[in-house]
């Protein structure tokens, strides 16, 4: 974690080679192009009552894109344990690591603080939250209280062909688990669970469940050593079995699988 990797000059997705996530170099704020309506003269002072208001310039801003890439990179580093739980990281240090200024890093970290992944340390930076076995068990219990009744209700009402549409997402989790990469699996796992809950038509439910899901993903602090790939494959196998039970409207099997899925953890 002490060595810094600077961003590549090639734009696109973050580079995760050699275990370090790099964000492509981004244009400086002063280099952002401003497109103006050429049919209206440029403003040179205050408007008078007889003047027609000049439209605001249409600004092509890429800051949100930079912040989004940094946020994705930081989430990956948190899930894999590359950012160590309990450690404090500053915006400038992480900015140098990703090859960007400290500003988008701080903005991304503020979002992670809202999600409970990090906490602000005044005048120092952000501390990665340590999640022990008890906290993860509590999160799993809350997720089960929310998701199990919804999935059982959907099992009674959603036709088989709708469940068949989710099979590619379940297969994605199996492929991701086979890679042994926690970050890749975390993304595919959230996509599958989100798609299942989306069938309820309740956007607030999906949003809350996704937030809890994200909080529960990451390395366990102080827990026993585990075989990551084996655990991920076991978790992914639940997705495939659950879809089969949902398609058959086998409520007893659905109830058992969903309950086991949350209590087993990842």
Residues 38-52: pLDDT tens digits? 443 444 444 444 545
Q: What tokens were used for 53?
A: 């208001």
Mean pLDDT is lowest, of 143-147, 149-153, 158-162, 225-229, for 225-229
In the sheet where 88-89 sits, what is the strand order? 88-89, 125-128, 118-121
CATH fold group of domain 133-264:
1.20.120
Above pLDDT 70, what percent of the chain? 71
Closest CA to 163 of 242, 236, 238: 242
Task: Measure Cα distances from 167 to 148, 184, 191, 239 in Å.
Answer: 19, 18, 12, 9
| Burial category of 227 from C-beta neighbours within 10 Å (exposed 0-12, middle 13-18, buried 19 and up) | exposed
Q: How far is CA 163 from its chain centroid?
A: 24
pLDDT digits (tens, 9 = 90+) for 73-128: 999 899 888 899 999 999 999 999 889 999 999 999 999 999 889 999 998 999 99
CATH class (in words) of the domain with range 17-128: mainly alpha
Torsions phi, psi for 33 (to 5 deg): -80, 135
Per-domain residue ranges for the chain? 17-128, 133-264
């Amino acid at each position: 974690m002490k060595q810094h990797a600077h961003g590549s000059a090639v734009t696109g997705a973050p580079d995760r080679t050699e275990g370090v996530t790099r964000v492509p170099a981004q244009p400086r704020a002063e280099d952002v192009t401003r497109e103006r309506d050429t049919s209206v003269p440029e403003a040179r002072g205050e408007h008078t009552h007889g003047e027609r208001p000049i439209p605001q310039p249409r600004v092509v801003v890429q800051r949100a894109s930079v912040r989004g890439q940094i946020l994705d990179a930081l989430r990956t580093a948190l899930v894999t344990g590359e950012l160590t739980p309990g450690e404090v990281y500053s915006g400038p240090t992480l900015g140098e690591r990703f090859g960007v200024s400290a500003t988008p890093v701080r903005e991304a970290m503020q979002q992670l603080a809202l999600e409970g992944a990090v906490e602000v340390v005044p005048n120092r930076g952000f501390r990665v939250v340590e999640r022990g076995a008890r906290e993860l068990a509590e999160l799993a219990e809350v997720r089960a209280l929310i998701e199990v009744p919804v999935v059982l209700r959907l099992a009674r009402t959603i036709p088989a062909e709708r469940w068949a549409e989710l099979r590619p997402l379940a297969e994605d989790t199996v492929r991701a688990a086979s890679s042994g990469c926690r970050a890749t699996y975390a993304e595919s796992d959230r996509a599958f669970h989100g798609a299942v809950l989306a069938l309820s038509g309740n956007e607030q439910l999906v949003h809350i469940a996704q937030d809890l899901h994200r909080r529960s993903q990451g390395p366990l602090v102080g827990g026993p050593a585990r075989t990551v790939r084996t655990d991920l494959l076991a978790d992914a196998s639940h997705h495939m079995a659950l879809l089969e039970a949902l398609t058959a409207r086998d409520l007893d099997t659905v109830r058992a699988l969903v309950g086991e899925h949350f209590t087993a953890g990842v």
